Structure 1
Amino acid sequence: MDKETKLSSWIEMAEGLYDFLNRRNTTINYSFQDFDVFVPQATGENPERAKWTIDGTVSLSTFENGETK
């Protein structure tokens, strides 16, 4: 899978999640304990990565047109 295809897949996944949350007025909660994520700091071959440690809850929700829950 080339870089453009990978990026396209991530964009499609994010758009689908946004649409899902808006249609259902839903929040998705993810709970983590000492979860490490290594995030690329740039694009290209072998970029340096920042280490993010998540220990808690990440909530994903959306709203449009000034509407809130």
Structure 2
Amino acid sequence: MADQQTNDWPELAVGLFDRLTGRGAVIHYEFDQMQIKIPSGVGTDAKHAAWVLSGKLRISTEMKGSAPNS
């Protein structure tokens, strides 16, 4: 498989997930006291609202069936 350039974080995450789960891996995410800044628009002058999760967020994935042969 040829190397491909990744242009942004979502693309990187999708590529990593596809590669790992294709090999039967399980991915777990855990966030504790997460803060996200949400922009009001695009551009350098956009204002940001802070969203705060005062606890934990857990995301788990599980692929059913066997992994394809590598």
Q: Distance in 2 between matches of 1:21 and 1:42?
A: 34
Q: Distance in 1 between matches of 2:60 and 2:46?
A: 27
After superposition, the Cα gap between the structure-2 partners of 1:20 and 1:28, relative to the gap in structure 1 and judged at 3 Å, is farther
Equivalent position of 1:12 in the other structure = 11
Q: Distance in 2 between matches of 1:60 and 1:46?
A: 36
Equivalent position of 1:57 in the other structure = 57
Asked whether the 8 Å contact 1:18–1:62 carries over to 2, the reply is no
Query: In proportion to residue count, which structure has more helix?
Result: 1
Bigger Rg, which one = 2
- What number of residue pairs does the alignment pair up? 57
Q: TM-score, normalised by structure 1?
A: 0.51
Q: CA RMSD in A?
A: 2.9
Aligned-partner SS, 1:18: helix
Equivalent position of 1:26 in the other structure = 26
Q: TM-score, normalised by structure 2?
A: 0.50
Q: Distance in 1 between matches of 2:51 and 2:41?
A: 15
The share of aligned pairs that are identical, in percent, is: 19
TM-superposed CA distance for 1:10, in Å, is 1.8
TM-superposed CA distance for 1:21, in Å, is 4.8
TM-superposed CA distance for 1:61, in Å, is 3.1
Q: Distance in 2 between matches of 1:40 and 1:30?
A: 24
TM-superposed CA distance for 1:14, in Å, is 2.4
Q: Which runs of 5+ in 2 are unaligned?
A: 1-6, 66-70
